[in-house]
Amino acid sequence: MSQVTRDILQKNLRGGEVSALNSLLCGEISAVETYNQAIQKVKDISLISTLEDCRNSHAIRVARLKERIAELGAMSSDDSGLWGAMTGLVEGTAALFGDRAVVAVLAGGEEYGTQQYNDNIEQLDMDSRKVVRKELLPAQKATQHLASRLNSTVH
């Protein structure tokens, strides 16, 4: 088998893995955008520090997912894709219903994000699974916990 044939086969084998990683990446990019929007829209400034912590955690995951996709020799997504609608949801929610509703939307998004990691993990190669299990999913669960705790305290 020629090197070109091997390269093509390897690229095709990694297509599903890269697609799953890019799906996770789009969710993380959307989370960063959504937290940025929430930080700008909340009226209670005591919420901002926790919202920034959550946003920063998602930003770290964006960087790590891009790094992993590059390690696989593929191109990473640069935008939130369909996930970008979450940003608009936060903006509209803030205008209509206030901080409590914004935090509830964020907490729901965190639950969904955790589920996305769980749903996509089996599509990944062993090295990517290790990255998700040891780095990304624990960080996602921590962010989910922060948002959930914030959601239970906001009035």
- For residue range 60-74, what is the model confidence (pLDDT) as tens digits? 999 999 999 999 988
Structural tokens at position 136:
């990304």
Nearest 5 degrees, angle CA 105-CA 111-CA 115? 140
Length of the chain: 155
Q: Is the pLDDT of residue 90 over 80?
A: no
Q: How many CB atoms lie within 10 A of CB 75?
A: 11
Q: Is the pLDDT of residue 133 over 50?
A: yes
Q: How many CB atoms lie within 10 A of CB 46?
A: 10
Asked if 128 and 91 count as a contact pair (C-beta separation under 8 A), the reply is no
Q: Is the pLDDT of residue 82 over 70?
A: no
> Which amino acid, 29?
I
Query: Domain 3-153 has what CATH class?
Result: mainly alpha
Q: What is the mean pLDDT of the chain?
A: 85
Band (77; pLDDT cuts 50, 70, 90): confident
**Which residues have CB under 8 Å from 91's CB, separation 6+?**
37, 41
Per-residue pLDDT tens digits for 14-71:
567 899 999 999 999 999 999 999 999 899 999 999 999 999 999 999 999 999 999 9
Share of the chain above pLDDT 90, in %: 67
Nearest 5 degrees, angle CA 100-CA 106-CA 107? 90
Q: Where are the domains of the chain?
A: 3-153
pTM comes to 0.85
